[in-house]
């Protein structure tokens, strides 16, 4: 069985978006979809806008599209993009 390590970049709609609330919702969604939350990092983009880079692990059969779509639907998130997908055996 292969495990995927996926990083998804969530771009916020506005500079004043509550990143902690988005992170908590992301953790909840990842768990519901049978993934495991690993970490979240804030990335400064431009003009006060920030992105939240969420890293998770899951069975590679689930793929990244499921998580990308679900996390992109969080209130306050403008769009989501898978920026890293790695496969590990274990």
What percent of the chain is modeled with pLDDT above 70?
A: 98
Q: Does the pLDDT value for residue 90 go beyond 80? A: no
pLDDT of residue 89: 77
Q: Distances from the Cα of 55 to the Cαs of 16, 25, 47, 68, 72, in angstroms?
A: 22, 14, 25, 11, 14
The structure tokens 């692990």 sit at 57
Q: Distances from the Cα of 49 to the Cαs of 16, 25, 45, in angstroms?
A: 8, 19, 5
Can you give the pTM of this predicted structure?
Answer: 0.93
Structural domain tally of the chain? Answer: 1
| Stretch among 1-5, 21-25, 56-60, 68-72 having the lowest mean pLDDT | 1-5
The domain that contains 72 carries what CATH number?
3.30.70.60
Q: What is the pLDDT of residues 40-61, one digit of tens each?
A: 999 999 888 999 999 999 999 9
Q: What is the pLDDT of residues 60-75, one digit of tens each?
A: 999 999 999 999 999 9
Cβ 18 vs Cβ 75: under 8 Å: no
Domain range for 74: 2-89
């Amino acid at each position: 069985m292969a495990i995927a390590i996926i990083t998804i970049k969530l771009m916020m709609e506005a500079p004043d978006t509550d990143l902690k609330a988005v992170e908590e919702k992301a953790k909840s969604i990842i768990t519901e979809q049978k993934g495991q939350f690993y970490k979240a990092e804030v990335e400064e983009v431009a003009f006060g806008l920030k992105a939240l880079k969420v890293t998770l692990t899951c069975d590679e059969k689930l793929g990244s599209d499921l998580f990308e779509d679900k996390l992109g639907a969080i209130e306050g998130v403008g769009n989501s993009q898978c920026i890293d997908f790695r496969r590990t055996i274990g």
